[in-house]
Structure 1
Amino acid sequence: MPEPERIAAAPAEVPSRTPEEAALVAVQAALADRQGVLGVARAMSHFGEHSLGWMAVAATGALASPRRRREWVTAGVGAFLAHAAAVVIKRVVRRTRPAHPAIAVNVGTPSRLSFPSAHATSTTAAAILLGRVTGAPLPALLVPPMALSRMVLGVHYPSDVAAGVLVGALVAKGTEAVSVRLDRRNRGDR
């Protein structure tokens, strides 16, 4: 009896990658397997969720330093406003999160929307405003790791985090300007 003819299965086609997807794959290949990187990235993700970690830091500072309360409160308000701005922009732009099969998603997210990264946005605003209160170079210390963590976790494209940093910086500048203006008005300055 002749053997039945076997038809070779066609190899599954892997979708081509956009430059941003390729960048995510490269970031994950370089960093995600290193000892502790995913754990740290996940911890940063949870800390930055809805800007709650930054607001807690600002509230603690406001309670501990009554003389600088306005600046600490400004930092918390700025972090919250930056997060809110990111959420509004996400709902307008409606870009979905990375979904290429080569990109590992290493954390849960509250929505499927990606642009801009709310974590990068609120962290940038908080870092700028908290840096002004403390005198520490917090933007240089905090923003790059948070932005990179969003890519290591596979939940944002590079342009999402870049836009988040820009929006966060703008919100910080506007929040600080309003805070200074209100403080001057409350003191009777013009």
Structure 2
Amino acid sequence: MPTPNADVRTLLAVQRTVGALPGAVRTARGLSHLGEHALGWIAVGGLGAALDRSRRPQWTTVVVGAVGAHAASIAVKRVVRRRRPTHPDVRIGVGVPSKFSFPSSHATSTTAAAVLIGRASGLPVAPVLVPTMLLSRLVLGVHYPSDVLSGAALGAVSAAVAVRLEKAAS
């Protein structure tokens, strides 16, 4: 078997350490379901818009940003076409809708949503939620570290674009 590259070695190290913590895989699966197709973030933004009339535009931007980020990640996936981890020591902990891994759509939409939820709510959401989601994708063995880091970067750009669109519309 060939020597694993740095991405695979890091993924395996995360699975051995973080993935071995009590409840880590269960928590990672929960986050996976929440972030699937950005649906959890769409729900949070919709709920915020319904309940917080004074900041409805910002909560609507959460939805726009999460959807836009997810769409951008899918477009990049179709161009790059990087396969998900296949190393025999990687434990896969959840089903996935696509065979492509770069960038992580969960990391992309979660980063965009977390930045925008923090903006709308005034709470420090991104520093807590983003690293947790990124680690969860590694714990579940469905992404390489470079997938989640690139996804987070794309999500941050998507959030910035969503804010610019919101400001241009007002």
TM-score by length of structure 2 reads: 0.98
Partner Cα separation in structure 2 for residue 176 and residue 24 of structure 1: 33
2:81 paired with 1:80: no
Whether contact under 8 Å (1:51, 1:80) holds in the other structure is: yes
2:15 paired with 1:28: yes
Name the structure with the higher helix share: 2
Q: How does 1:18-97 map to 2 (within 5 A)?
A: 18-97=5-84
User: What do the CA deviations read for 1:126-155 (whole angstroms, capped 9, x no partner)?
Assistant: 011110111111110110000010001000
Match of 1:125 in 2: 112
User: What do the CA deviations read for 1:73-124 (whole angstroms, capped 9, x no partner)?
Assistant: 1011100100000000000000000000011111100001000000000000
2:133 paired with 1:162: no
Give the residue type in structure 1 aligned to 2:158: V
Give the residue type in structure 1 aligned to 2:123: A
Report how far residue 16 of structure 1 moved. Answer: 2.2
Partner Cα separation in structure 1 for residue 169 and residue 127 of structure 2: 28
User: What do the CA deviations read for 1:27-85 (whole angstroms, capped 9, x no partner)?
Assistant: 00002122100000000000000000000000001000112111101011100100000
Q: How does 1:99-138 map to 2 (within 5 A)?
A: 99-138=86-125
Gaps (5+ residues) in structure 1?
1-13, 184-190
2:129 paired with 1:142: yes
Identity %: 49
Partner Cα separation in structure 2 for residue 127 and residue 67 of structure 1: 19
Whether contact under 8 Å (1:94, 1:114) holds in the other structure is: yes
Match of 1:9 in 2: none
Give the residue type in structure 2 aligned to 1:142: L
Partner Cα separation in structure 2 for residue 32 and residue 135 of structure 1: 31
Gaps (5+ residues) in structure 2?
none
Match of 1:6 in 2: none
Structure 1 segments of 4+ aligned residues over 4 angstroms from their partners: none
Report how far residue 15 of structure 1 moved. Answer: 3.5
SS of the equivalent of 1:99 reads coil
RMSD: 0.7
Q: Highest CA radius of gyration, 1 or 2?
A: 1
Partner Cα separation in structure 1 for residue 9 and residue 119 of structure 2: 37
Report how far residue 169 of structure 1 moved. Answer: 0.3
